[in-house]
């Protein structure tokens, strides 16, 4: 099981720059999505920011389903400056991969819970690290795409674009660099990685039960 928790209102407001398209995934049985809180926050956001459309769907982690769900909204998406996704880390990465030339941001952090983890065939992975870095890394997860899970990569060991640990794997941090370059967002690499916060009240409550 996973839990998604909304990022702070200030953070989400700061991400909603220019025309903003929002995608919500009300998810699957394996992911708790804070649907009511997201709805309330997006209502408030619509009063102060230029939210062009809010689409709520499910299973955006499945690339074929995502393409189908977004197909009829592509004009609005092309016109948007920013896309904010409210889902688990897998859903956000799948949207960022599909909308490769868009600035796709995460409105949520993803935390682990014990239990069934789902069977959807996935192209990307989320380690449910509790503080999602996708907003700094062009929608590519540094925890799962880098063999050392570096949040301040790269390590310097890559050769010809391949990881020094797993020579079959493209270096995640080279992918992140290229993606940010394409989005004209290399400046985001100047962020300072913070001490990670894994704690979540709901997770603690479940452990105690």
Residue ranges binding ligand SF4 (CB under 6 A): 89, 93, 110, 126-129, 132-134, 141, 143-144, 146-148, 150, 153-155, 157-158, 163-165, 171-173
| 106: β partners | 85
- Phi and psi, residue 57, nearest 5°: -145, -160
Q: Give me the residue whose beta carbon is nearest to ligand SF4.
A: 89
Least spacing, CB of residue 78 vs ligand SF4, in Å:
25
Least spacing, CB of residue 166 vs ligand SF4, in Å:
7
**CB-wise, 46 or 112, nearer to ligand SF4?**
112
Least spacing, CB of residue 193 vs ligand SF4, in Å:
11
**CB-wise, 41 or 138, nearer to ligand SF4?**
138
Least spacing, CB of residue 107 vs ligand SF4, in Å:
12
Describe the strand order of the beta sheet including 31-32 as a list of residue ranges.
31-32, 2-6, 108-112
DSSP letter at 161 equals T
**CB-wise, 76 or 183, nearer to ligand SF4?**
183
- How do strand 51-57 and strand 20-25 relate by DSSP bridges? parallel
Distance from chain centroid for Cα 177:
17
Peptide bond into 154 cis (omega under 30): yes
Contact 28, 59 (CB under 8 A): yes
**CB-wise, 107 or 172, nearer to ligand SF4?**
172
**CB-wise, 51 or 141, nearer to ligand SF4?**
141
* C-alpha to C-alpha distance for 128 and 160, rounded to whole angstroms: 30
- Give the three-class secondary structure for 126: coil
Least spacing, CB of residue 11 vs ligand SF4, in Å:
14
């Amino acid at each position: 099981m996973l839990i998604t928790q909304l990022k702070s209102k200030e953070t989400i407001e700061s991400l909603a720059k220019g025309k903003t398209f929002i995608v919500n995934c009300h998810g699957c049985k394996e992911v708790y999505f804070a649907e009511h809180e997201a709805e309330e926050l997006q209502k408030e956001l619509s009063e102060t920011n230029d939210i062009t459309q809010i689409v709520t769907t499910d299973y955006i982690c499945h690339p074929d389903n995502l393409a189908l769900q977004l197909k009829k909204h592509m004009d609005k998406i092309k016109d948007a400056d920013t896309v904010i996704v409210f889902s688990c880390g897998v859903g956000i990465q799948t949207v960022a991969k599909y909308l490769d030339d868009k600035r796709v941001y995460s409105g949520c952090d993803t935390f682990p819970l014990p239990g069934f983890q789902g069977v959807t065939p996935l192209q990307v992975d989320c380690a449910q690290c509790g503080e999602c870095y996708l907003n700094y890394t062009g929608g590519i997860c540094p925890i799962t795409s880098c063999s050392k899970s570096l949040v301040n990569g790269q390590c310097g060991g890559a050769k010809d674009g391949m990881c020094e640990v797993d020579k079959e794997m493209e270096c995640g941090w080279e992918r992140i660099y290229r993606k940010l370059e394409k989005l004209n967002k290399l400046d985001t690499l100047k962020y300072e990685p913070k001490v990670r916060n894994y704690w979540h009240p709901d997770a603690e409550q479940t452990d105690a039960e």
